[in-house]
Amino acid sequence: MAHEIVIRNAGYRAIAEVHVEEALPPGVRVLRTDPPALTHGDRVTWDMGALEAGTERRLKIEVQPASAGELHLRPHVTFLPSSGLRTQVIRPQFGVELKADHDKTPCGGHIAFTIRVSNDGNAVIHNIKLYDQLPAGLSHPAGQRVGITRFGDLQPGETRTITLDTSAVKAGQFRNEVVAQADGGIEARASVEVTVAEPSLALRVDGPKKGSTQRDLDFQLEVSNPGPLPAKKIRLVQTLPPSFQTIGASTGATFDEAQHALTWTLPELAPGQRQRVTFRVKASTAGDWPLYTAVQADKIPESHVANVLHVEGVPALTLEVHAREDRLNVGDETVYDLHVFNQGDAPCAGVRLTAWLPEEMTPLDAKDAQIQQQQVQFAPLSQLPARGDVVYRIRARGQRPGKGRVRVELTAERENPLQRDLSIQVNGGPPAQTPDGATRAGYTKSTGGGDLR
C-alpha cells in the first residue's frame, strides 16, 4: 500500500523544526520511503527543518500489511515558530555596584568594600546619598549603619567610586547591601556575600588506650587546617606523665625536661593541608595516666585533646647466681646463692627454680628443695610480690677434680624462662685448712634458702 503525507504551511510566517511521525500498526512492514525516513520500532519519522509560509512538502511511503483487516494510519506533525520573543536589555540610568577586596577573611581580619555609583543617562542626578547597613559579622567605626549623605551630584556619563573599610568581628556567612538614593525617588541597590571564618586547627591523636609497664607504646599526632587561610608558626606540644620515658620521636621533636613534654615546630599549613608526627614512650608505673596534646598557631586559638592511658603492671623477673667459692679442693664445701628479683609492678605467680650441678660437685643441702643426683628442685613459690625478691641457697661439696658449670633455670607463669650459668673449678688437693685446723667449709656461714625479703 503506497500513500502520501502532505505538509503545508498555510500561515503567513515561516515555521521551524518540523518533525513528522507515523505510527504503524503491528505487523506492518515498511518497503520504501521518499525522502528516506528513520524507523524506530513501529514508528517512521522525518526531521524536515524549516518550512516557509505558503509552501508544502510531500512524503511518500509504501508499506505492506501482514494480515487482512482495517489499516489505520495517523501521521503526527510538530513544529516551532521560526522566531521567538526579542527584548532589548539596557543598563539603568542610575546604577550602583558593590565589590569586596576578598570574599573570605578570619575573625579579626579586614574587608574593604568598593562602592561604584554611575550615571548612564543624559540628565544630571542630584543629591545622591549612600547607605550601607553592615551585617552582624562586620564592624565600622561609624556604627552598623554607615551613611554618606553628602555624595553630591553625578553628571551624565560620570562615575564615582568610594571605599569602605570594615573589620570582621563574628564568624559566619554574611550579605552586605548598599543603597543609593537621589532626588526624584531614584534608587539603586547592590549586594555581595562574604564569609568570616573562625580560624582553627584540628588535632587528632592515634594510639593505644591500654598498655603495660616496661612495654613500648607508639602514638601518632595529626594536625590539619580546615580553615580558609594558611596557619603559620605552628607549635605542637605533647605533655607526658612523670613516670613515662621517651624512647623516640619523629624528626624535629625537642624534649622539655621542666614540663616533661615533647614539642614540635611545624611548617606552615595551607587550607586543607595536614601534618603528622610520631613518638614512642615507655611507662614505668601502672595506673591511669592523662596525656595532654595541644596545638597553637599565629592568630589561631589553641586546640587541645585529653586522653587517658590505662597502664597495667607486669612482673619483671631477674636472676642472679653467686658462689661463695668458685675454686676449691676435693672435699671442700661452698654455698650457692640464687637471688630472684621481681622488679615489675605486678605480682608474679608460679615461680619455680631448678639448678643442675656438674659431676665435679655433690649437692648436700637445700632448704625446701628436692635433690635428685645432680638436680636441685626448689618448691614452687605461689606468688612473688611486685618489687619483691627471694634468696635460695644450695650447699655443695667438691667431689672430683675438674672444671664444670652450674646451670640455674627460673620459670614463672606467663613469663619467659631465665637461665644463668656459673663456672666452678675443683682441684685435686686435700681440703683447705684454716689456722685452727678446720676445713675451709667451716668458714662458710650458710643460711637456708627461700626467705622472702
**Domain ranges (residues) in the chain:** 2-81, 94-197, 203-312, 317-452
pLDDT tens-digit readout, 225-238 = 987 778 899 999 99
Distance CA 203, CA 252 (A): 18
2.60.40.1170, 3.40.50.150, 3.90.180.10, 3.20.20.70: which CATH number matches 2-81? 2.60.40.1170
Distance CA 4, CA 59 (A): 6
pLDDT tens-digit readout, 359-375 = 999 999 999 999 999 99
Closest CA to 22 of 69, 79, 68, 60: 60
The answer to whether residues 282 and 215 touch, using CB atoms and an 8 Å cutoff, is: yes
What per-residue confidence (pLDDT) applies to 88? 66
DSSP structure string for 280-309: EEEESS-EEEEEEEEEEETTEEEEEEEEEE
CATH of domain 94-197: 2.60.40.10
When pLDDT is averaged across residues 265-293 and rounded to a whole number, the result is: 93
Residue labelled with grid coordinates 509504501? 62
Question: 3-class secondary structure for 139-203?
Answer: ECCCCCEEEEEEEEEECCCCEEEEEEEEEECCCEEEEEEEEEEECCCEEEEEEEEEEEECCCCEE
Distance CA 165, CA 163 (A): 6
What per-residue confidence (pLDDT) applies to 334? 94
Residue 66 has pLDDT above 50, yes or no: yes
What CATH class is the domain 203-312? mainly beta
Sign of CA dihedral 184, 117, 104, 145: negative
C-alpha cell at 132: 550601607
DSSP structure string for 211-251: EETTSEEEEEEEEE--SSS-B-SEEEEEE--TTEEEEEE-T
For the ranges 69-83, 117-131, 392-406, the lowest mean pLDDT is seen at 69-83
441 torsion bin: left (phi>0), alpha (psi -120 to 50), beta (else): alpha
The distance between the two most distant Cα atoms of the chain, rounded to a whole number of Å, is 153
The answer to whether residues 440 and 328 touch, using CB atoms and an 8 Å cutoff, is: yes
Position 347: which residue type?
P
Closest CA to 61 of 96, 90, 22: 22
| Two domains, one topology: 203-312 and 317-452 | yes
CATH of domain 317-452: 2.60.40.10
When pLDDT is averaged across residues 425-447 and rounded to a whole number, the result is: 56
What per-residue confidence (pLDDT) applies to 433? 58
Distance CA 278, CA 249 (A): 6
pLDDT tens-digit readout, 394-411 = 999 999 999 999 999 999
The answer to whether residues 77 and 18 touch, using CB atoms and an 8 Å cutoff, is: yes
Q: What is the mean pLDDT of the chain?
A: 88
| Predicted structure pTM score | 0.49
The answer to whether residues 201 and 231 touch, using CB atoms and an 8 Å cutoff, is: yes
When pLDDT is averaged across residues 430-434 and rounded to a whole number, the result is: 62
Closest CA to 275 of 312, 231, 311, 243: 231
Alpha-helix runs per DSSP H in 319-436: none
What are the φ/ψ torsions at residue 35 (nearest 5 degrees)? -65, 165
Distance CA 27, CA 44 (A): 14
Q: How many CA within 13 A on the CB side of residue 135?
A: 17
Distance CA 296, CA 280 (A): 22
418 Cβ partners below 8 Å, 6+ apart?
317, 318, 319, 409, 410, 411
